[in-house]
Structure 1
Amino acid sequence: MARTKAQLPAGARLADYLTVGYLALRCPLGKVREILSQQGVESQRRRGLPHEVLVYFVLAMVLYANVAYEDVLQLVLEGLRPLLGDAKLTQNTVSKGAISQARARVGVGPLQSLYQEQVRPHGPAGMAGVWYQGLRLMAIDGSTLDMPDEAANAEYFGYPASARGSTAFPRLRFVAMAECGTHTLCYAQPGPYHSSERELARSVLAHADATMLITADRGFYSYDLWQEAQATGAKLLFRLSRSLRLPREEELPDGSYLSTVYSNAEDRKHRRNGIQVRVI
């Protein structure tokens, strides 16, 4: 979906070019080209709009959400010129149509791969909220995002219901694992609006490991999901619904107690396949 014409406030500033340079520092040009090659969408020729430039353009669009495509592209080209080593790139005039066509050729695969490789928990030891008792604090949560009102988005993501039919824009639902100290959203899994957050959380929790303490709200708990999350080695701290049966089996000195959760009533009756939990 093309944007309305807007310009950078007071023109591009040195800080804007430095922002593009920082993107290239955090997401190196060599890594971008490697991913494009792995996906089979590397640029076959250097004329026009190289695909590695397009990747940084998509990243920059997030930072300059209210600026027209052409202005964002020129900013990216200027910022990358020292790395690209091709001054002629900044002299090209690229239309919105050409940008859209190039994005279609590249597709979503390279950006997904870059996100999974580059966006990881990174908070250092000693930073507030990052570590507790030697474990990295992470939180599972979900949210939604409005998508451009286009046929493909409407068909895949769907619309939320409202009192007068449906909303104006298709909406994406996602679940991610957030690093509590830095608020970095890692391992995000998107899906249609009517997706279950619990189901989306399965692929997110697959990235957990024994260095983490993972918190989640009560909507994420299920016996199966808890079992899968435990298998990663991570420590878990979930809120639970009051309707879940948690009999006091062993009192602990701090006021918490041990209990056992089961997959179903039949397993509970025969006390089989239970998972011991500590209730706080």
Structure 2
Amino acid sequence: MFAPGHLGELTQLVPFEMVDAVLAETGGRERRLRDLPSRVVVYLLLAAGLFAELGYRQVWARPTSGLEEPGAVPSSSALAQARRRVGVAPLKALFELLAGPPAGAARWRGLLVCALDGTTMSVPDSEANLARYGHQSGSHGGSGYPLVRVLAVVACGTRALLAVTFGPFKTGEISYAPQVLGCLRAGMLLLGDRNFAVRHLVTAIAVTGADLLIRCKNSRASPRQARLPDGSFVSTMGGVTVRVIDAEIVVTLSGTSRHTGRYRLITTLTDHRRYPALDLVTLYHQRWEIETTYLELKSTTLGGRVLRSRTPQGVDQEIFALLTAYQALRLAMADAALARPDLPADRASFTIALHTARDQVIHAAGIIADSVIDLIGKIGRAVLADPLPARRVRASPRIVKRAISKHRAKGQVDRTNYRAAIAIDVLTDPDSTTAQSP
């Protein structure tokens, strides 16, 4: 009866002993031996994170299809009762065990670069979900699905999850942010957008020992205490000494049109010799790695679908299972990257890894490690055999890719991705520049 409880090759990263330990710790273990043991239910929930387009009975068919004796297929009500019995706590504990940067994660000048940002996930339009999470009001009259607000810290490059929190949509990202700062340590650099440039968060981040590089409003008043040779200046924010960098960025699209924007960044990296302003402005572009992470979760894995669960407890359980499966897949990709130090982490295809992991679940393959440990495995070999091309400098409009209505919106929108050339000027004042990088 334990045979259906596996995750294919990813079982080596989420082994039976780990699942049994979190079940015992959280009180999720069954009191008597059942046809659906709690361990099997946990793996079913994790597999559902890989097969987001399927109902739970169809998910059950995937890990059992490769077994010689798959056994009876449980009914939908039996699976629902088993999921309620296991609860949320074991999945939350499992994710927290896996969360963190993978071995060999790349550093920038000795710092692990990570990014903080939020997104939303749609859940079924039940009364319970609507009461718990709420939905977005606006031009469509609040007729959309209830939304869960998700906030995460992601390691740039590997896109592994370091910490995640989520809850009602009506609560803003600033209110959720303190819940994820516990993952920060000295030797880390946190990137964030203008939403997080608030005094109490800057103070809270500095207390962890991590450094920060956050964009703020260009009009924000910052007292100038000292001007530095690279064009930045020293100031204070929330009682923390910071450097302020003003820059102008010019993006030329395919050699024709030009777009100019102003950026003001604050950072606790005050050594202008070790961390020149120009290098920090360039590094800040990596903040978009977290947007790619959300794309992999919401588009590649979920396929833009609404989550399954019609109750808040089920939603919480499903999200933690989804995050755990994603993290296990990212760790498998990172293990493979250790064998190819010449291949940047962002050239590993998440889509290839996901489909290979699904195949291993269906074939019930690679569940138990051989006597010789294979860090790469079939998932890693598939990723290394077909890496993504080197990343090009491109620009595209920040627009809604999937409209709420199926009807064409008014007006014409240019959705073309253009090859781009980027020039950065570090400003000493609004009318002059001191450094330039093509």
TM bucket, shorter chain: 0.7 to 0.9
CA distance in 2, matches of 1:200, 1:123: 28
Query: What is the identity, as a one-letter code, of the residue corresponding to 2:209?
Result: G
Equivalent-residue separation in structure 2 for 1:209 and 1:47 (angstroms): 43
CA distance in 2, matches of 1:76, 1:36: 21
1:62 aligns with 2:42: no
* Structure 1 unpaired stretches of 5+: 1-16, 82-86, 263-273
Which of 241, 260, 274 matches 1:276?
A: 241
Q: 1:19-75 CA distances to partner (integer Å, 9 max, x unpaired)?
A: 922231111111111111111110233331111111111111121111232221132
1:24 paired residue number: 11
2:232 is aligned with what amino acid? S
Residues 139-178 of structure 1 aligned to structure 2 (within 5 Å): 139-178=115-154
Q: Which residue of 2 aligns with 1:237?
A: 213
| Cα displacement (A) at 1:256 | 1.1
1:55 is matched by which residue type in structure 2? V
Cα distance between partner residues in 1 of 2:125 and 2:241: 48
Paired residues of 2:202 and 2:237 also in contact (CA < 8 A): no
Runs (5+) with no aligned partner, structure 2: 246-438
| Secondary structure at 2:183 match in 1 | coil
- d(CA) in 2 for partners of 1:123, 1:146: 33
2:235 maps to a residue whose letter is: S
Does residue 198 of the first structure (1) align with residue 174 of the second (2)? yes
* Counterpart-to-counterpart distance in 2, 1:248 and 1:123: 40
Task: Tell me how far 1:123 sits from its aligned partner.
Answer: 5.3
Deviates more, 1:209-218 or 1:247-256: 247-256
Question: Which range moves more in the overlay, 22-31 or 116-125?
Answer: 116-125
Q: Deviations over 1:202-247 (max 9, x none)?
A: 1111220002111100101211111111010001111111232113
Q: Does the alignment pair 1:50 with 2:37?
A: yes
Letter in 2 for 1:119: A
Task: Give SS of 1:124's match.
Answer: coil
Contact 2:206–2:240 (CA<8 Å) still a contact in 1? Answer: no
For residue 166 of structure 1, report the CA deviation from its aligned partner: 1.1
CA contact (8 A) 1:139 1:214 kept: yes
Give me the whole-angstrom Cα distance separating, in 1, the residues matched to 2:110 and 2:203: 23
- Aligned with 2:29: secondary structure? coil
Residue of structure 2 aligned with 1:93, choices 63, 67, 73? 73
2:203 is matched by which residue type in structure 1? Q
Q: Contact 1:48/1:92 (CA < 8 Å) preserved in 2?
A: no
Kindly state the Cα deviation for residue 106 of structure 1 after the two structures are TM-superposed. Answer: 0.9
Counterpart of 2:237 (choices 261, 272, 275) is: 261
Structure 2: distance between partners of 1:76 and 1:53: 10
CA contact (8 A) 1:259 1:277 kept: yes
Distance 1:142 1:234, change over 3 A: same
Residue 183 of structure 1 deviates from its aligned partner by 1.4
Residue 133 of structure 1: aligned partner: 109
Identical-pair percentage: 36
Partner residue, 1:252 = 228
**Could you say what the CA RMSD is over the residues aligned between the two structures, in angstroms?**
1.9
What SS does the aligned partner of 1:61 have? helix
Q: TM-score, normalised by structure 1?
A: 0.80
Q: List, as ranges, runs of 4+ consecutive aligned residues in structure 1 with deviation greater than 3 Å.
A: none
Equivalent position SS for 1:46: coil
The amino acid of 2:240's aligned partner reads I
Deviation readout 1:55-103 (Å, 9 max, x if unpaired):
1111111211112322211323456x6xxxxx76x21220111111111
**Deviation digits for residues 157-177 of structure 1 (CA, Å, limit 9, x no counterpart):** 111113242133110001100
Task: Give secondary structure in 2 for the equivalent of 1:206.
Answer: helix
Specify whether residues 60 and 245 from structure 1 end up closer, same or farther in structure 2 by C-alpha distance, changes over 3 A only. same
Give the aligned partner of residue 323 of structure 2.
Answer: none
Q: What amino acid maps onto 1:23 in structure 2?
A: L
Aligned twin of 2:381: none
Normalising by structure 2, what TM-score?
0.52
Residue deviations 1:251-278 (CA, integer Å, cap 9, x gap):
111111101225xxxxxxxxxxx32211
Secondary structure of the 1:166 match is: coil
Alpha-carbon contact 2:7-2:46 (below 8 Å) kept? no
